[in-house]
Amino acid sequence: MRALSVSGFVLVALVALPARAEDGVPVSAPTKPTSPDAAATKASKVPDPERTRDLRFGHLYASVFGGVWVPSASLVPEGTGLDAPEVGGEVRARLGLGVNGHLVVFAEGGFAHARGGTSCSTCSASSVVAAGGVSAHLTQGFAVDPWISLGAGYRGTVLSVDDVPGAVSDAPVHAIDFARLGLGFDHAPVPWLGFGPFVGVDVGVRLFDGAVYADGVFGVRVTFDPKASGTRLSIDAGR
């Protein structure tokens, strides 16, 4: 009986030991199945390369602006016989280069024209601008792209006052736009073309007397991105 009891004890002890492979390495325990929710959470933490890659670097942007020009009374020097010009029109052309996913450096030129005020309806003011700056974009790869820009440049304005006695016709006014602020957004129906509204203000100083002015402008801009041809836009933030 005693030998039988000892044999039973040894048998129970052997059964209780962890199962081992023939080579002496412990056999791993079975893996618990991963729930769908846990798998989705793990996948959401992995960065989407399509959303994190730079979609703007090296792209060349060509933009055309057209809108309403609201010249400041301070843009016109006293003694020219021309009061503040009335509301006129403005066009701009901009060429930009993407430096990263959200910044574009640019150079631009513009032309604005407005007729004289009530004191001289046949007078006019014609203004040309050469400027540069940088624009910051909130998104990349999406159909809606809000942006803000800041620049500076030279402004030359020619005042035509032929019908004003004693005034010099085609008198030039040289100035510096030291803060050209713009705000707008582009809607892109296709990756290489976008358009949308914009509003801006150009704050500057006349060179010969230091008078400060602030012109306003608002309208529509159209932007071309040839390098984006053949790509596709992200439809929602879940891509």
Domains, in order of start, for the chain:
55-228 (2.40.160.20)
Asked whether residue 168 carries a pLDDT value surpassing 60, the answer given is no
Contact present, 72 and 159 (Cβ < 8 Å): no
pLDDT on residue 137: 95
- Both tokens of 16, joined, read 């209780």
| Residue 86 amino acid letter | E
pLDDT on residue 63: 97
Nearest to 134 by CA among 157, 102, 172, 178: 102
pTM above 0.85, yes or no: no
Q: Which of 58-62, 80-84, 89-93, 214-218 has the lowest mean pLDDT?
A: 80-84
Mean pLDDT of 207-229: 92
Q: Return the higher-pLDDT residue of 72 and 26.
A: 72
Quickly tell me which residue has 């879940």 as its tokens.
238
pLDDT on residue 11: 47
| Residue 48 amino acid letter | D
Nearest to 145 by CA among 238, 225, 52, 50: 225
CA–CA distance, 63 with 2 (Å, rounded to integer): 100
Three-class SS state of 80: coil
Chain-centre distance for alpha carbon 214: 23
**Number of Cα atoms under 13 Å in the Cβ half of residue 32:** 5
- Both tokens of 76, joined, read 């016109």
Q: Which of 40-54, 101-115, 197-211 has the lowest mean pLDDT?
A: 40-54
Q: Return the higher-pLDDT residue of 96 and 170.
A: 96
pLDDT on residue 169: 62
Quickly tell me which residue has 């029109």 as its tokens.
89
CA–CA distance, 174 with 180 (Å, rounded to integer): 16
pLDDT on residue 50: 46
